[in-house]
Amino acid sequence: MDKPLTLKSNRTLQITYNLPISRTSKFWEGLKEGKIYATKCEKCGRLHFPPVADCGECGSSNMKWIELDGEGEIETFTQVVVKPASFSKESSYIVAIARLKEGVKALAWLIGVEREDVEVGMKVRLVARVTSDGRVAYEFVPI
Ligand SMILES: [Zn+2]
């Protein structure tokens, strides 16, 4: 099969989209106040982070809000050098998965530390912040 002919475009593609958050709005409001919330299923006890409105374990919508301490331990991490289009303007960055002391895993960028100084088992804290352009985010910092 012949390779299809293509024409390369140098135009930048910008995508703006809206995420439905009405049932998890407490999470987004909490980030603005520096708080990290998870949801806990009242039926089966499963803790969810990021919060969900419906339990993926048992299907219940009976969820309770739990504020997380944020302290955790890195289980794995990677440095992203070849970035997805939506982060193309960022420098390379570190993404980590940590198990928080409440037992739930969280995935977030790890900031404030060089790649060479990151290791599995490292203590981190998940913190909320508002970016300079007004978006809310959460990320790990070393402790
Ligand atoms: Zn459940």
Query: Could you tell me the pTM of the whole model?
Result: 0.82
Q: For the domain bounded by 22-68, which CATH number is listed?
A: 2.20.28
pLDDT, mean of residues 121-128? 97
Question: Where in the chain do CATH 2.40.50.840 domains reside?
Answer: 69-143
67 Cα to the center of ligand 1, angstroms: 18
What are residue 23's phi and psi, to 5 degrees?
Answer: -90, -5
Length of the chain in terms of residues written: 143
pLDDT tens for each residue of 78-116:
999 998 887 888 889 999 999 999 999 999 999 999 999
75 Cα to the center of ligand 1, angstroms: 25
pLDDT at 4: 87
Radius of gyration of the chain (CA): 18
Question: Where in the chain do CATH 2.20.28 domains reside?
Answer: 22-68
47 Cα to the center of ligand 1, angstroms: 8
60 Cα to the center of ligand 1, angstroms: 5
- Among the four given CATH numbers 2.40.400.10, 3.40.50.10800, 3.90.1150.10, 2.40.50.840, the one describing domain 69-143: 2.40.50.840
Q: Is the peptide bond before 50 cis (omega within 30 degrees of 0)?
A: yes
User: C-alpha angle with apex 71: 68 to 72, nearest 5 degrees?
Assistant: 115
Residues 6+ away with beta carbon under 8 Å from 4: none
* Two structure tokens written together for 133: 């352009």
Tell me what the pLDDT averaged over the chain comes to: 92
